């Protein structure tokens, strides 16, 4: 099988034929430019529309994590930082994150900056890609938790709620990969947030096939719209 994407938390691979992957994987691969084979356990994370699947690393040894981090830092961080902003469409938005429709979504664990505009409301937010569906979209969890940022988010949500036909303008820009340390601290800090945020809770179900995930997303949006109209 061929690797199509790689991050500190996992990788995407293209299988020889369409299949229904699941469960645990034992991976052994060599990074380009290296002669040392890395061995790591992984679990099935998501399934693309073709033969592409995503695998999430499990219980990496410190040595493997260090080699991945150093290799990615040398080979991908600067390229990602130079990528221009990309236009996308907002599918769902909460105080904790958003789901964006985009034809070429960024890998899981990519740090991004979002610029949103809707009527008189403007919002700039930072986040991390938590869910990625090839050719469809990606879920971004916001990493800013200040009262000021929450206030801007609430204003933006209010504008969208009051103008259902308004199509917000969105740009998303990759800013490199989230480090293992910051990822662990962020997940620990946000463990209770997902319980109160339906969108973040859905992100935690990243192993759902893309079609099932998007169906659940549409269902949540319908319930939220009905509640707002009461």
For residue 88, pLDDT over 90 is answered with yes
- Cβ contact 174:132 at 8 Å: no
| Selected residue with higher pLDDT from 8 and 70 | 70
Among the residue ranges 12-26, 93-107, 124-138, the one predicted with the least confidence is 12-26
For residue 21, pLDDT over 80 is answered with no
Using the 8-state DSSP alphabet, how is residue 135 labeled? T
Provide DSSP, 53-87.
EEEEEES--HHHHHHHHHHHHHHTHHHHHHPPPEE
Q: How many alpha carbons fall within 13 Å on the CB side of residue 229?
A: 8
Compute CA distances 54 → 35, 44, 87, 108, 191, whole Å: 24, 6, 24, 9, 23
- pLDDT digit string, tens, across residues 174-230: 887 776 544 444 444 444 455 579 999 999 887 788 899 999 998 887 755 544 443
Mean pLDDT of the region 18-22? 60
The pLDDT value recorded for residue 49 is 55
pTM above the 0.75 mark?
Answer: no
Cα 70 to Cα 62: distance, rounded to the nearest angstrom: 12
- pLDDT digit string, tens, across residues 27-43: 888 888 888 888 988 88
Domains of the chain (ranges, CATH numbers): 2-75 (2.40.10.220), 84-228 (2.40.10)
The pLDDT value recorded for residue 22 is 65
Residue 224 CB contacts under 8 Å (≥ 6 apart), including other chains: 198
- pLDDT digit string, tens, across residues 158-190: 988 888 777 889 999 988 777 654 444 444 444
Residue 24: strand, helix, or coil? strand
How many C-beta neighbours within 10 Å does residue 218 have?
12
Q: By C-alpha distance, which of 73, 43, 74 is closest to 57?
A: 43
Cα 142 to Cα 149: distance, rounded to the nearest angstrom: 10
Is 43 exposed, middle or buried, given 0-12, 13-18 or 19+ CB atoms closer than 10 A?
middle
- Cβ contact 203:142 at 8 Å: no
Q: By C-alpha distance, which of 88, 229, 86 is closest to 168?
A: 88
Mean pLDDT of the region 134-152? 89
Cα 141 to Cα 111: distance, rounded to the nearest angstrom: 10
Provide DSSP, 192-218.
THHHH-HHHHHHTTTTS-HHHHHHHHH
- pLDDT digit string, tens, across residues 29-82: 888 888 888 898 888 777 665 677 778 787 778 788 888 888 887 776 444 445
């Amino acid at each position: 099988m061929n690797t199509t994407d790689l991050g500190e938390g996992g990788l995407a691979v293209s299988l020889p034929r369409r299949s229904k992957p699941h469960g645990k994987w034992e991976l052994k691969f060599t990074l380009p430019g290296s002669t040392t084979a890395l061995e790591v356990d992984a679990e099935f994370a998501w399934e693309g529309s073709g033969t592409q699947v995503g695998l999430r690393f499990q219980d990496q040894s410190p040595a493997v994590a260090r080699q991945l981090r150093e290799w990615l830092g040398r080979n991908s961080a600067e390229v990602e930082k130079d990528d221009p902003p990309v236009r996308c469409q907002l599918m769902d938005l909460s105080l904790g994150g958003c789901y964006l429709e985009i034809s070429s979504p960024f890998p899981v664990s990519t740090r991004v900056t979002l610029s949103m505009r809707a009527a008189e409301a403007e919002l700039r937010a930072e986040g991390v890609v938590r869910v990625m569906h090839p050719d469809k979209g990606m879920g971004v969890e916001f990493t800013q938790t200040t009262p000021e940022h929450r206030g801007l988010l609430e204003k933006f949500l209010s504008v969208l709620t009051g103008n259902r036909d308004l199509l917000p303008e969105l740009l998303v820009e990759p800013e490199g990969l989230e480090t293992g340390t910051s990822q662990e601290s962020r997940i620990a800090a946000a463990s209770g947030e997902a319980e109160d945020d339906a969108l973040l809770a859905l992100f935690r179900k990243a192993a759902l096939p893309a079609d099932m995930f998007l169906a659940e997303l549409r269902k949540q949006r319908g319930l939220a719209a009905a509640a707002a109209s009461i």
